Amino acid sequence: MPTTLQANDPGAVQAAAQRLADGLLVGLPTETVYGVAADACHATAVQRIFEAKGRPSDHPLIVHIAAPIAPANTDDSAWGTAVAPFARNVPPFAWALMRAFWPGPLTLILPRQPEVAAVAAGGHPSVGLRCPAHPVAQAVLVAARAQGVLGVAAPSANRFGRISPTTAQHVAEEFAHLTDADLLILDGGACAVGIESTIVDATRSAPVLLRPGAITAEQVSAACGVAVVARDDDAPRSSGDLAAHYAPRAKLRLMTGPMLKTALQILGSDAQHIAVYARQPLRGTRKLPVRRMPNEPQAAAHELFAVLRELDAPGVRLIWVEEPPEGEAWDGVRDRLSRAARA
């Protein structure tokens, strides 16, 4: 089993930074989800991530960077220094997005410095960069940088195709097949956002939304003054694009409220092996595992993956989920649920 340290234990952050500098893996809390991290410029270390996750090696990873020293009045030159080791030809709208949303739950796909982080980028000519806001992630990034680690590749800390982890316990469950020599996990509590970062392609003249998250397309357009354009076939592909992703073991089905109600009524007391995640209280669910979906999209995102893991219990064959409400604020939650339903 991997070892888990409380992130605020004395020496925990330093131990994690040392592991990264040694080319080993660290399970790291961020404000979105937990990541499984390695030195982005260390090809063997990055290869260990792909192996641990069972992820195809052409699926690019996000590189995480430390915030500049004085983030409160961070200007383009400070962000320039932070991203320069990895990215070049940064378009003006991307600087505006860094100023507006970094440190935070936004990943920018930028043209990659050709000699750098090729394995982490899955061989693509671009690189995904993110400056996470979580204080533990920042502390580890700063401590690792002091040891020469310029950036940390960290995909979500789940086996390929599975539900992303939002607690240290989830990470330990996902990587139970690894030893404590392979993986050190830092426990920084439950992730505040709960779904992965918004991904914006910034390799072309206008921003393209590749993955919805807590930061909406409308907020991206407003912050940089350039309208987000619809993705087309030239946009970089991402593994979050895969139809089958975020998969529980049970079959997940999305249904409208009335459909869910009718289906439960028809089954009556025969309803079994079913778990329910609904926005309304429902009759006929007394003997079933049931969770209520919060009315606020942020609250729903925060608990989504933990609820799916909880409902995906032994004996449950179907997870019936009521469709989230309309509206852009729900795009991230709707996206994760519809991919889970297609798995």
Q: Are 203 and 110 in contact (CB under 8 A)?
A: yes
Binding residues with ligand TXA: total (CB under 6 A): 27
**Residue 112: partners with Cβ closer than 8 Å, 6 or more residues away:** 86, 87, 88, 118, 121, 124, 125, 126, 127
Q: Which stretch binds ligand TXA (CB under 6 A): 55-63, 76-84, 86-94, 167-175?
A: 55-63
Residue 195 C-beta: closest distance to ligand TXA, Å: 8
Q: Which stretch binds ligand TXA (CB under 6 A): 196-204, 280-288, 322-330, 333-341?
A: 196-204
199 binds, among Mg ion, ligand TXA, none (CB under 5 to 8 A by kind): ligand TXA
Residues making contact with Mg ion (CB under 5 A): 156
If the CB atoms of residues 240 and 324 are measured against ligand TXA, the closer one turns out to be: 240
Q: What is the rounded CA–CA span in Å between residue 142 and residue 269?
A: 57
Q: What is the rounded CA–CA span in Å between residue 27 and residue 183?
A: 7
Binding track over 132-171 against ligand TXA, x by CB under 6 A: x---------------------xxx---------------
**Residue 86: partners with Cβ closer than 8 Å, 6 or more residues away:** 40, 63, 65, 110, 112, 113, 116, 117, 127, 129, 150, 151
**For 233, phi and psi rounded to 5 degrees?**
-70, -15
**Contact pick of 26, 65, 109, 168 for ligand TXA (by CB under 6 A):** 109
124 binds, among Mg ion, ligand TXA, none (CB under 5 to 8 A by kind): ligand TXA
Q: What is the rounded CA–CA span in Å between residue 171 and residue 35?
A: 9
Residue 82 C-beta: closest distance to ligand TXA, Å: 16
If the CB atoms of residues 14 and 238 are measured against ligand TXA, the closer one turns out to be: 238
275 binds, among Mg ion, ligand TXA, none (CB under 5 to 8 A by kind): none
Packing angle of the helix pair 92-101, 217-224 (nearest 10 deg): 110
**Contact pick of 116, 127, 184, 271 for ligand TXA (by CB under 6 A):** 127
Residue 30 binds ligand TXA, judged by CB under 6 A: yes
Residue 38 C-beta: closest distance to Mg ion, Å: 15
Which two structure tokens, joined as six digits, stand for 337? Answer: 């649920």
How would you classify the pairing of strands 290-292 and 274-278?
parallel
Going edge to edge, which strands form the sheet with 62-64?
3-6, 183-187, 25-28, 35-39, 152-153, 62-64, 126-130, 106-111, 198-201, 208-211
Residue 131 C-beta: closest distance to Mg ion, Å: 18
Q: Are 93 and 100 in contact (CB under 8 A)?
A: no
Buried b (16+ CB within 10 A) or exposed e, 211-238: bbbbbbbebbbebbebebbeeeeebbeb
**Contact pick of 4, 74, 197, 216 for ligand TXA (by CB under 6 A):** 197
**Contact pick of 187, 196, 312, 331 for ligand TXA (by CB under 6 A):** 196
Return the number of other C-beta atoms located less than 10 Å from residue 70's C-beta: 9
Residue 215 C-beta: closest distance to ligand TXA, Å: 11
Binding track over 271-310 against ligand TXA, x by CB under 6 A: ----------------------------------------
Which two structure tokens, joined as six digits, stand for 216? Answer: 């909406």
Return the number of other C-beta atoms located less than 10 Å from residue 197's C-beta: 26
Residues that bind ligand TXA (CB under 6 A): 30, 32-33, 35, 59-62, 107, 109, 121, 124, 126-128, 130, 132, 154-156, 196-197, 199, 236, 238-240
